[in-house]
Amino acid sequence: MAIDAHAARAKAALEPCRATHNYLNFEERSTNPATLFDPQAYARLRQVKTMVDPEDMIRANHSIPPRGV
């Protein structure tokens, strides 16, 4: 779609100003969840996910996998 091409160009133009992690509410498409949190927070979220849902049954748009997955 034309809008996707324009959005991709805008995103590329803004890349030099990119933050250390992406803003969760602005991620409309599937993305690597590790890019949505700082490394310490992501590691803790994976630790909690491993304790609470080791079989990875609970999922969302940007699912955080348990450790070992």
The whole-number pLDDT of residue 45 equals: 94
Rounded Cα distance, 7 and 27, in Å: 12
> Which pTM was predicted?
0.69
For the beta carbon of residue 15, count every other beta carbon within 10 angstroms: 7
User: Among residues 62, 19, 15, which one has the least CA distance to residue 42?
Assistant: 62
Per-chain mean pLDDT for the chain? 87
Phi and psi, residue 7, nearest 5°: -65, -40
Domains of the chain, by residue range, sit at 20-69
The whole-number pLDDT of residue 4 equals: 86
pLDDT-derived band at 1 (thresholds 50, 70, 90) equals confident
pLDDT in tens, 15-56: 899 888 887 777 777 888 998 999 999 999 999 999 999 999
